[in-house]
Chain A
């Protein structure tokens, strides 16, 4: 095991499901020590979410939990109880970062609001990920991934024009707030090197959508009264910018430059219909004739497989790409050569492959050194080894439902 970028950094994560766990996973995978605090008995919500092998629910075999909690230590602690709060504070006295995703009021009610924690440990970075942020009229509103993608504007861009807007797949809201929280936390850590003090990092999931993702076109809406376009399988800009079926799936066709479209027409053998005057201007094609052109192009695509079309396009430097399904990505030689999927063994779950490094750092590589913790796996190590509790204390705490 080589040196890692964040070796020595101490993170305490007290959150559930995706956003906070993903945030601290990014740090754990680069070598930070992450102590994950879970509720005794039930554990993180993602343990009950799945997917499960053969669909048999099991707290120790949820795919989502296993993926999001690699490289972490796990303890159980009831932070709703006074005794639990006391222990959490002992952990936070020694920590660099505290990541949580509970509602703002809940943390204050538990006596774990930022002002209290700041007094406890002035160097602590407290990173709070919530649906709507720590301030503003909606701060105490309830929100799931669906709701924040709606408010932040992402959903209005996906789906058919006359049907309901579609939220992004698989709770992307939480991955976006989690990764933004990780970046902002490191801004705060770098700041701490010169100021010596910690701070409160307020990540609003709907703000992340509304700003860095979708904040760059708001000007048009306000000054020109434009609306976001939701156009099903296409973006209405120039033709082609769409997803169309082929023989064995779908192709993603985008040609922003005219020469790319011309080369594709050549590859199709310069079909007769290209002489139609309606199909000369690619902007007009996008706005007025896209249905007609789609069906003409589809007639050719449907005779060819994704890989045939992709190969043909790469030879001609046409920017079209196959829509790979999940299995195809797993077996894609590119992902294989880069060693993206990595295997690790774990009690209860066995040997499994996982998505791996999102980036490769030349000096301090991303590493999978341990699988996600079993529920309470590191109680003894942390409570006895780190905080100095005795074995008898542990028994008492366990009986009291604290751990």
Chain B
């Protein structure tokens, strides 16, 4: 009896840092048995997020959030016996995920061409910065460099001002979500044909796919889009406005004339609302600097929740800009279990991200916390791969299981 969508599927997750592990997280949340491959020789840097108050590789809440629902093993794949263990595991798995640079697995003899030989039904995805071939394929990057190379960063900044660029792992997550879709589509195909396949995903290409509008503008009109801030080509007001308190903001977006009238009523019909400069959509767009100033005069007297209540009751799109703990205590997120508290052996309680999608008949949940280093070595090498206790002890002794 299936309880989760991916019950019975096994995933070998070689990935580390952000993009790959989040792809693995989606599959793990859907119920797949995701086995995260790590080694003490080179720890996943997500176990060592800088600037936190705890120390050591077992207490990193970022790692705990991204790797929940996974099992963990430690293997030195650069040792031929380690690589052999991995081959054995791939043979009994359905999916492999990796985000090394293209030569990473090739050097270990664990690239797709070689893994396919032990398991032709394997669906494997690689998601390095720039894909498996092409002049940039050997490039080493961090998330913001992806934004730089795919054009996304060039669009980020206040309207017409300097480029600020992407300062979050936004494009890593974008890759993870698209990658999960591609893997699931390939599994769907395999279910009817029996054929596995390889997915070559370049993070800078999947980043470009999310800004298609800018490319269409270039292909149609030869114009290069620049920074726009919160400006929208057809909506005004359309901005984040200051509220009562320190660094508190509310987003307000007005699209139609009907919404504009509702907005004016909701804020008490100030005299300026009747001004011809704001009489219709194109006038509001033309005079939006002044409009923003006037709207700010109203929002600054209210908390963001007060402003949201007043505007939403009138049918105007408004929502606060929430910070970390504010999201945790927001009543909507609370009711939807957007954040979960999970027990973890090393930290007691972790607050982690909830499941990013909700399925009515096979609801997904956090079944287990993120693995400790090598926590499931015995299960994977003993139970799944049939190594004896003595063999495992020897491999540990030789730092192959390490």
Contacts and interface: CB of A to CB of B under 8 A. Distances in A.
Contacts of B210: 170, 172, 175
B176 interface: yes
Interface stretch (B74-82, B164-172, B384-392): B164-172
A5 B189 contact: yes
A170 B156 CA distance: 10
A150 B155 contact: no
Interface string A10-24: 000000000000000
Contacts of A55: 221
Contacts of A234: 167
B216 A63 contact: yes
B251 interface: yes
Interface in A181-206: 181-184, 186-191, 193-195, 197-204, 206
Given A206-B332, A250-B165, A256-B142, 13 more contacts: A64-B212, A134-B358, A146-B239, A167-B230, A176-B174, A189-B184, A216-B65, A223-B351, A320-B145, A324-B154, A357-B205, A359-B199, A363-B197
A126 to B, nearest CB: 9
B230 A361 contact: no
Interface stretch (B103-111, B264-272, B315-323): B315-323
B131 interface: yes
B205 A53 contact: no
5 contacts: A166-B156, A169-B152, A220-B324, A324-B154, A328-B151
A212 B170 contact: no
B165 A252 contact: yes
A180 B179 CA distance: 10
**Which residue, of B228, B316, B332, has the highest number of chain A Cβ atoms within 10 A?**
B332
A132 B336 CA distance: 10
B154 A164 contact: no
Nearest to A256: B142
B249 A144 contact: no
> Number of contact residues on B: which range applies?
35 or more
Contacts of A187: 5-6, 30, 184, 357, 359, 362, 364
Given A170-B155, A204-B336, A329-B208, A243 B165 contact: yes
A181 to B, nearest CB: 7
Nearest to A143: B317
A157 B213 contact: no
A222 B65 CA distance: 14
Interface in B155-201: 155-158, 162-168, 170, 173-174, 176-182, 184-189, 191, 195-201
A219 B350 contact: yes
Interface in B121-161: 125, 130-131, 133-137, 139-142, 144-145, 147-158
Nearest to A235: B167
A276 B122 CA distance: 55
Contacts of A235: 144, 167
Contact of A202 (B177, B201, B358): B358
B227 to A, nearest CB: 8
A53 B215 contact: no
Contacts of B167: 157-158, 231, 233-235
**What 8 pairs between A and B have smallest CB-CB spacing?**
A221-B324, A215-B353, A63-B216, A186-B184, A150-B251, A184-B357, A221-B325, A191-B5
B165 A334 contact: no
A207 B318 CA distance: 16
Given A215-B338, A222-B325, A321 B360 contact: no
Interface in B44-66: 50-53, 61-62, 65-66
A175 B174 contact: yes
B39 interface: no
A172 B170 contact: yes
Interface string A245-268: 100011110101000000000000
A213 interface: yes
Nearest to A63: B216
Contacts of B72: none
A114 interface: yes
A360 B230 contact: no
Contacts of B232: 146
Given A180-B356, A245-B162, A51 B213 contact: yes
Contacts of B356: 180, 184, 207-208, 211-212
Contacts of A156: 321-323
A1 interface: no
A199 B356 CA distance: 16
Nearest to B180: A183
B328 interface: yes
B251 A218 contact: no
B218 interface: yes
A136 B334 CA distance: 8
B361 A155 contact: no
A201 B188 contact: no
B354 A190 contact: no
A212 B253 contact: no
Contact of B319 (A143, A319, A329): A143
Contacts of A53: 220-221
A322 interface: yes
